[in-house]
């Protein structure tokens, strides 16, 4: 578990904080003893000595507490940073299909779960401090009156049993609250992604606000109130039992046990001091319960909190055995999206082969399975049945090496500001400027140290920037999911008649999803899909090309 690794990595400062906490506990007990002596014996031995002794113990308490808090603050900052680093890396390493429909989970975990989990490690030294303090106070009270301590212990044991029972009940409430918060995070993403539509359509904005956003927030509020009220009632109950027991002890001490006033006063002062660590131990249960709910949530979304994360930068992959690949084959491939209730799979069964150097167009109506086929081919989705292989070797035997064959533009593509080559190195500004000119973006976008100056462009221009990133990676297989749909008529023609043939001439395999039937004859093959199945696989007659642009 990540907390165990953190404790092992930082055991020295944690041990230091624990030792300082122990020293602080010792100073607190010594101060308590000094106060009790002063209260019961008065100013024997002059005024100055008790005053100086008290000031000395107070200063010692301040110094040990302050140093302990500074160490804990440093550990807290380190743990939060480590949690964010590891969780972000785990999300990056997680397979695409596990988070395809849960993008809001990333933000919720990196913000909410980190804030909930971090206190779990920081509470450890404080728990040690308060446990030690409670034991020392109990030892002091035993010297005052073992009988009264036994009564107090019985009351506290009953309170602890009730607290543990309530904690079991609250576990389900906290898990439900975490799921409700995740729904709120999902709607927060809607605000950003759907801002243009809601600005133009006030009715849509009103529906989103009143039918979706507000109910989700109110449900999370209701669950938060119930969960934290339950935890708060536990704290209130525990402290009431503690102080109620002190009251009864005072009453019974005088009425039934006949104890002296000095004994009762000393016991009451010690018991009141004991309330501090007992109160902390009870309140720490709230932090532990909330943090544990976040850990369970990470397990539910597929992030295993156990196991170390390799922080070393990933090397440039690419098995040399795949450098000279000749054919990619799909055999009996079927896929059904999670949650689908349809009797038949979304795609499949499909049997196809793609030869190196081909230019293939995938065509079909909306919902025919074109994009899903592309995700299966690039191994971002795992077939429910069947196999994807490259030169007879199943691609899942070396997914990274296989994926390193691909670059392309998805239908829901994302733009990064830095232009990198296949090894992750920034492309030279001169090369980027050359590509920008070829893609007719030289006047709109500039570059400095491999970073593009502007990404707020039209959809068609953004797709050209995405294509630029593909050229920078320069991999074996280029794929495009309806890339030309947002281009003007001239650049669309340029894309089909010049850019794609240039890639083929450079030895690249080109796979393009397209609706532009007047360019189908330019492809080596046209694969038509309908209802997730291949209905035709044809080879148009070759035609001469007007021009080719080398890139």
Segments in the chain below pLDDT 70: 1-7, 40, 43-48, 99-108, 110, 118, 121-122, 124-125, 301-321, 341, 343, 541-551
Note the pLDDT of residue 481: 93
**What local confidence, expressed as pLDDT, does residue 430 receive?**
92
For the stretch 217-235, pLDDT in tens is: 999 888 888 887 877 777 7
Instruction: Using CB atoms within 10 Å of the CB of residue 143, give its burial: 0 to 12 exposed, 13 to 18 middle, 19+ buried.
Output: exposed
Q: Which tokens hold the place of 293?
A: 């709910």
Cβ atoms 212, 187 nearer than 8 A: yes
Rounded-to-integer distance, Cα 378 and Cα 97, Å = 12
Q: What is the pLDDT of residue 250?
A: 85
Q: Are 397 and 389 in contact (CB under 8 A)?
A: no
User: Which position has the token pair 């009451």?
Assistant: 268
pLDDT in tens, 100-118: 666 666 666 767 777 777 6
| Closest-CA residue to 259 (of 245, 249, 270, 269) | 249
Domains by residue range for the chain, with CATH: 2-300 (1.20.1560.10), 320-325+356-385+395-538 (3.40.50.300)
**pTM of this structure:** 0.69
- pLDDT recorded at residue 32: 73
Q: If you compute the radius of gyration of the chain from its CA atoms, what whole number of angstroms results?
A: 34
Residue 314: the pLDDT is: 47
The DSSP bridge pattern shows strands 477-481 and 406-409 to be parallel
What pLDDT shows up at residue 4?
64
Helix, strand, coil tally for the chain in percent (to 5):
65, 10, 25
Q: What is the pLDDT of residues 35-71, one digit of tens each?
A: 777 776 776 655 567 778 888 888 888 888 788 777 7
Residues contacting 322, CB < 8 A, separation 6+: 390, 391, 398, 401, 402, 404, 405
For residue 149, what pLDDT is reported? 86
- The SS3 assignment for 301 reads coil
pLDDT on residue 316:
45
d(CA 67, CA 65): 6
What SS3 class is residue 426? strand
């Amino acid at each position: 578990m990540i907390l165990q690794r953190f404790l092992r990595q930082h055991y020295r400062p944690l041990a230091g904080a624990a030792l300082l906490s122990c020293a602080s506990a010792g100073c607190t007990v010594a101060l308590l003893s000094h106060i009790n002596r002063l209260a019961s014996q008065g100013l024997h031995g002059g005024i100055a000595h008790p005053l100086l002794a008290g000031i000395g113990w107070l200063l010692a308490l301040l110094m040990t507490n302050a140093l302990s808090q500074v160490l804990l603050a440093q550990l807290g900052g380190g743990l939060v940073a480590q949690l964010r680093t590891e969780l972000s890396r785990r999300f990056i390493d997680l397979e695409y299909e596990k988070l395809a429909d849960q993008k809001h989970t990333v933000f919720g975990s990196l913000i909410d779960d980190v804030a909930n989990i971090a206190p779990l490690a920081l509470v450890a030294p404080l728990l040690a401090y308060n446990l030690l303090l409670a034991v020392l106070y109990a030892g002091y009270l035993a010297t005052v009156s073992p009988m009264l301590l036994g009564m107090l212990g019985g009351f506290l044991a009953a309170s602890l049993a009730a607290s543990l029972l309530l904690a079991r009940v609250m576990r389900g409430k906290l898990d439900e609250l975490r799921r409700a918060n995740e729904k709120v995070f999902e709607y927060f993403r809607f605000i950003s992604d759907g801002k243009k539509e809601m600005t133009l359509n006030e009715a849509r904005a009103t529906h989103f606000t009143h039918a979706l956003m507000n109910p989700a927030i109110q449900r999370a509020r209701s669950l938060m109130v119930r969960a934290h009220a339950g935890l708060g009632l536990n704290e209130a109950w525990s402290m009431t039992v503690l102080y109620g027991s002190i009251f009864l002890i005072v009453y019974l001490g005088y009425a039934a046990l006949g104890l002296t006033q000095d004994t009762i006063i000393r016991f009451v002062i010690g018991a009141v001091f004991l309330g501090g660590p007992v109160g902390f131990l009870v309140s720490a249960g709230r932090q532990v319960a909330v943090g544990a709910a976040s850990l369970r949530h990470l397990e539910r979304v597929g992030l295993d909190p156990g196991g170390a994360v390799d922080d070393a930068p990933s090397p440039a992959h690419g098995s040399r055995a795949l450098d000279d690949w000749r054919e990619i084959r799909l055999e009996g491939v079927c896929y059904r999206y999670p949650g689908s209730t349809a009797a038949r799979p979304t795609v499949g069964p499909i049997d196809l082969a793609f030869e190196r150097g081909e230019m293939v167009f995938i065509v079909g109506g909306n919902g025919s399975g074109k994009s899903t086929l592309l995700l299966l081919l690039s191994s971002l989705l795992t077939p429910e049945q069947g196999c994807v292989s490259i030169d007879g070797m199943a691609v899942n035997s070396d997914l990274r090496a296989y994926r390193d064959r691909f670059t392309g533009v998805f239908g829901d593509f994302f733009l990064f500001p830095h232009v990198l080559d296949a090894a992750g190195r920034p492309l030279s500004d001169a090369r980027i400027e050359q590509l920008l000119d070829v893609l007719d973006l030289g006047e709109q976008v500039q570059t400095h140290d491999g970073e593009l100056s502007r990404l707020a462009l039209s959809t068609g221009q953004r797709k050209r920037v995405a294509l630029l990133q593909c050229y920078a990676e320069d991999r074996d297989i280029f794929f495009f999911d309806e890339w030309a749909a947002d281009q003007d008529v001239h650049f669309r023609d340029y894309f089909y008649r010049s850019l794609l043939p240039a890639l083929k001439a450079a030895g690249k395999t080109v796979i393009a999803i397209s609706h532009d039937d007047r360019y189908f004859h330019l492809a080596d093959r046209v694969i038509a899909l309908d209802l997730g199945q291949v209905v035709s696989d044809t080879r148009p007659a070759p035609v001469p090309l007007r021009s080719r642009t080398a890139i």
